[in-house]
Amino acid sequence: MINLPAGRLRTTSTSWLARGSFWKPFLVGLAISLGAKSLVNWLIEPIIPSSVPISSMEGQIFPFPPGLFAITHYQHWADGGLGSWFVIGWALVIAILFLSLTNRTIHMGVGLFLAGVISNQGEELLFGHATDFLFVRLIGFGGLTVVLNLADLMLFFGVLLLLGALLHRLLNKKLPMLCTNCDNQADEGERLCKNCIPPVESSSTAPPQRSSLSRKRVLLGVWLVAIPVIVGVILLRSGLGLAQTGSGNEYVTGVGVQHEIMPTRNHVTEGQILVYNSIPATSGGHWPQWSKCGFFEAALPDERIVHNLEHSNIVVSYNLTTPKEVEQLREVVGSIGLAERTGVARLYNKIPEGTVALAAWGVSDTMTGIDEERIATFFENYAGTLGPEGNIPCVNSGVMP
């Protein structure tokens, strides 16, 4: 039978507390992140000085800065402390699990990961929000827009280090293990003993093989990291995460006609009729509730859809004369990927018969008949980009006609 000496057991259970490969990236990363957050809060005014919780926003409400990259200031307000405590607890479980493994890369990954989590969740617990300030627009990915901070980047790279190190160990089968022979001969599955400890005879029951425990620990760690990533991807695909946008962040010459932005965009009482400066309407006051995405054969009031335009949605208004034309337009709009998240089509009798009118915030394009290329170009340039409240998809929010 094999037993570890008591001194060895104490060293194994406490040695991770003194590992510089964990503490250095953790403390340095935490200090840099907190310093950057403090500097942004001190020097830059928030682009939306609001403390409205995320759960009541029905999507993102911050206006996207122009360009591909910007230093901005958005206070990502939290819904309460319970969620933050849960995230911190989950992160600590992962940290303790991984720090018991003897691998410097894993320790560095845990340090960065934990620094990112505590920086963001700690700020939410103390101040009710997390400061995001790095804005990036990824043109090569359908105009994907991201607002994040240094803590998010540390968390991301920490997870990459963890997954990379874990996969390397699994693929190369270099997990620590106890051996009964100490001459570097093949042992169990023809793997070499790397961490051989001389056996100690004892009448007590032998502890489980460390190789088996380590493999299970690594696999558990992979799932603890992978599951949140998978859930995040599902949320992103379902419209609850960051949304794809068109490529333009201002009026593009030759794509529609630009209209003067009306002086106010206040909410008015549901049912109140307003006067707009263009047909179809492209800016101005509106009702509190916007329309859900979709192709509707019913009329939607301007006062409803202007709220969609404020969210950077695209509104397709049509006054076609035959059911065949309506069905053709439905197919054209349905073939545009961005329309699924940002498109609203409605019957509209204020434009001449046989015409289709596209609208974004401050821009419209009216055409005779159905021009598929023209409609696609309008979406590609303006979907999710022009509205003053940023890119708020209507796929999971809004009211039906």
Nearest to 357 by CA among 317, 319, 303: 317
Which residue(s) pair with 186 in the sheet? Answer: 192
> Which has more confidence, 393 or 5?
393
Q: Whole domain around residue 353: which residue ranges?
A: 257-382
Does residue 73 lie within any of the structural domains?
Answer: yes
Q: What CA–CA distance (Å, rounded) separates 217 from 272?
A: 62
Q: What is the CA radius of gyration of the chain?
A: 28
Question: What is the model's pLDDT at position 224?
Answer: 57
Q: Is the pLDDT of residue 90 over 80?
A: yes
Q: For 295, which DSSP code?
A: E
Q: Would residue 223 count as lying in a domain?
A: yes
Together in a domain, 184 and 262: no
Cα dihedral 43, 47, 48, 54, rounded to 10, equals -100
Instruction: Name the 3-class secondary structure at 368.
Output: strand
Residue 279's alpha-carbon distances to 196, 367, 380, in angstroms, are 80, 13, 22
Distance CA 294, CA 334 (A): 9
Q: Are 32 and 178 found together in one domain?
A: yes
Q: Are residues 290 and 176 in the same domain?
A: no
What is the number of structural domains in the chain?
A: 2
Domain termination site, one of 238, 270, 295: 238
The span from the CA of 129 to the CA of 79, in Å, is 9
Q: Is residue 143 within 8 Å of residue 175, measured between CB atoms?
A: no
Pairing state between β 144-148 and 69-77: unpaired
- In the block, tokens 């400066």 appear at 277
Residue 148 pLDDT grade (very low, low, confident, very high; cuts 50, 70, 90) = confident
d(CA 30, CA 258): 47
Task: Establish if 392 belongs to a structural domain.
Answer: no
- pLDDT above 80 for 318: yes
Instruction: Give me 182's structure tokens.
Output: 């100490």
Residue 391 within a domain: no
Q: What is the pLDDT of residue 296?
A: 94
Q: Which of 156, 35, 172, 32 is nearest to 103 (CA)?
A: 172
Q: Are residues 318 and 188 in the same domain?
A: no
Is 110 found in the same domain as 234? Answer: yes
pLDDT in tens, 107-131: 888 899 999 999 988 888 887 778 8
Residue range 220-243: mean pLDDT, rounded = 47
Last residue of a domain, one of 206, 238, 270: 238
- The one-letter amino acid code at 292 reads K
pLDDT per residue as tens digits for the range 296-312: 999 999 999 999 999 89
SS3 227: helix
**Considering the domain boundaries, does residue 244 fall inside one?**
no
For position 385, what pLDDT does the model report? 86
Residue 165 and residue 19 share a domain? yes
206 in the same domain as 132: yes
Asked if residue 192 is part of any domain, the answer here is yes
Residues 141, 244 contacting (CB under 8 angstroms): yes
Q: Which of 187, 206, 238 is a domain's end point?
A: 238
Residue 227 shares a structural domain with residue 261: no
- Lowest model confidence (mean pLDDT) among 21-35, 206-220, 290-304: 206-220
CATH number at residue 325: 3.40.30
Same domain, yes or no, for 215 and 155?
Answer: yes
DSSP 132-200: EEEEEEEGGGTTEEEEE-HHHHHHHHHHHHHHHHHHHHHHHT------S--S--EETTTEE-SS-----
Same domain for 190 and 305? no
Same domain, 66 and 132: yes
Same domain, 312 and 224: no
Q: Report the distance separating Cα 396 and Cα 293, nearest Å.
A: 8
In a domain, 1, yes or no: no
Residue 225: the pLDDT is 54
What share of the chain in percent tops pLDDT 70? 66
